[in-house]
Amino acid sequence: MDSPARIEVRRLTISVEGQVVQRDLDFEVAAGQIFAVIGDGGSGRSLLLRHMAGMQRPTAGAVLYDGESLWGGSEADRERLRHRFGILFQGAVLIAEMTLLENVAVKLRLNTALSDREADEVAALKLAIMGLRGHERHYPSQVSVGMRIRAALARAIALDPDILFFDDPSALLDPLHSQRVDDIILGLRDATGATIVLVSHDLPSVFALADDALFLDGEKKTMIARGRPEELRDHCPDPKVRAFLTRGRA
C-alpha cells in the first residue's frame, strides 16, 4: 500500500445484545482510498461501518484514525475527530420537517461560526455540486429517492470531512441513477482526496468504485478475504467470495 493508513481497525469485535456478530477484524484503509465492505446479508457490514464511523463503541478492539483512537480520548477529542467524518445512512435519512437546504445548512449552523446566511450559501453550493440546484426549497417528500440520496450526500460533505462513510448509497436506485451516484462519489474523491468507506451490495458499484475491499462472512463471523474487488472475483481462494462477486457463476 503506497498511501499511509488513514483508518486502522485492530482486532475489532462487534456484538449486539450479547451476541457476537463479527470478531477479530484487523485491517487498514489507506488515505484517499475508496474501501468497500462487502459480505452476505446479516454479516454486520453496516454495523462495522457504524463502528468505523465512531457511532458505536467496540465491544473489543479499536479503530484508529491517523493513529488516534476515538474512544481512547476525551469527549472533546471525540468531537474533534467526528468533525472529520461525513456519514451517509442507508436510505438517505433526511429530517422530514426541513427543506433540502435546511437539512444541509443546519449542520453548518451548528458546527461552524458561519452566519445563517453564509451557511445557507455553502449549503446551496453543496447541493449544486450534487446536481440539486433549484431544489433547495423542496422538502424531502417532494423529491425523488435519488435526489434525497444526493441531498444526504451534500449533508455528509457539508463540513468538508476527509473521511466519508457511505452505507449502501445505491440501495434504492435503478442502475442509471446508481451510476450517477457512483460518478459523484468518484468526483468527490478525486476533487477532495477524501478517504471513503463504502458498504454496498451493488456489485457494479463496488467494481466501479472500490480500490480495496473486505469480505465479511456472517457464518464464520469474521473477515475472510481482502483485496481489489477484481482480484477477489478472479483469484480469491475462498469459493464463497468468488461466488458472491460473480453472482454464483464462479
Partner 1 sequence: MNVAAPPTVSVSREGDAGVVRLSGAWRLQDGLRPTEEVTRALDALPLRRLRFDAAAVERWDTSLVVFLARVHDTCVQREVGVDTSGLPAGARRLLELARQGAVLGGGAEPEPADRWRRERRGSVRGPDPWTERIGWWGIHSFQSLGGKLEFFGSTVQSCVRMLLGRTRRLRAPFLHYLQQAGVETLPIVALMGFAIGAVLALITTGQLERLGATPLVARIVSIAVLREMGSLMVGIAIAGRLGSAIAAEIASMVARREVDVLNVIGVDRFDYLIAPRVIALALAGPLLVVYANTLGLLGGFFVGVSVVGLPAPEYVERTRAVLTYKHMLAGLIKGLAFGVVTALMAGYYGVQSGRTAGGVGRAVRKAVVGAVVGVVLTDAAITLVFKWVRL
- Containing H/E element for 244? helix 239-245
Based on the shown chain and the rule CB under 8 A, indicate whether residue 122 belongs to the binding site for partner 1.
yes
Nearer to partner 1, 139 or 227 (CB): 139
Q: Which residues, listed in sequence order, are joined to residue 36 by a DSSP beta bridge?
A: 198, 213
87 touching partner 1, by CB under 8 A: yes
Q: Work out whether 233 is an interface residue with partner 1 (CB under 8 A).
A: no
How would you classify residue 221: left for phi > 0, otherwise alpha for psi between -120 and 50, otherwise beta? left
Q: Which of residues 195-214 bind partner 1 (CB under 8 A)?
A: none
Size of the site for partner 1 (CB under 8 A): 70
Residue 171, interface with partner 1 (CB under 8 A)? Answer: yes
* Helical ranges in 54-193 per DSSP H: 75-82, 100-111, 116-129, 145-156, 175-192
Of the candidates 107, 193, 191, the residue with the CA atom closest to the CA atom of residue 151: 107
**90 vs 227 by CB, closer to partner 1:** 90
Q: Does 177 bind partner 1 (CB under 8 A)?
A: yes
Member of 146, 164, 198, 213 binding partner 1 (CB under 8 A): 146
CB of 15 to partner 1, least distance (A): 6
Name the residue among 209, 169, 197 with its Cα closest to residue 65.
197
- Sole binder of partner 1 in the list 2, 74, 110, 237 (CB under 8 A): 110
Bridge partners, 198 (sequence order): 36, 166
DSSP code of residue 50:
H
Interaction of residue 24 with partner 1, rule CB under 8 A: no
131 makes contact with partner 1 (CB under 8 A): yes
Q: How far apart are CA 151 and CA 107, in angstroms?
A: 13
DSSP of 220-236, one letter per residue? Answer: TTEEEEEE-HHHHHHH-
| Cross-strand pairs, 64 | 8, 69
Minimum distance, C-beta of residue 233 to partner 1, in the bound complex (Å)? 23
Closest Cα to residue 168, out of 50, 82, 83, 57? 50
Site map 90..109 versus partner 1, x via CB under 8 A? xx-xxxx---------xxxx
- Bridge-based pairing of strands 19-30 and 34-39 is unpaired
Distance in Å, CB of 102 to partner 1, minimum = 10
118 belongs to the binding site for partner 1 (CB under 8 A): yes
Chain residues in the site for partner 1 (CB under 8 A): 15-21, 40-43, 55, 59, 82, 85, 87, 89-91, 93-96, 106-114, 118, 121-122, 125-126, 128-129, 131-135, 144-150, 155, 159-160, 168, 171-174, 177, 180, 184, 187, 190-193, 218-219, 221
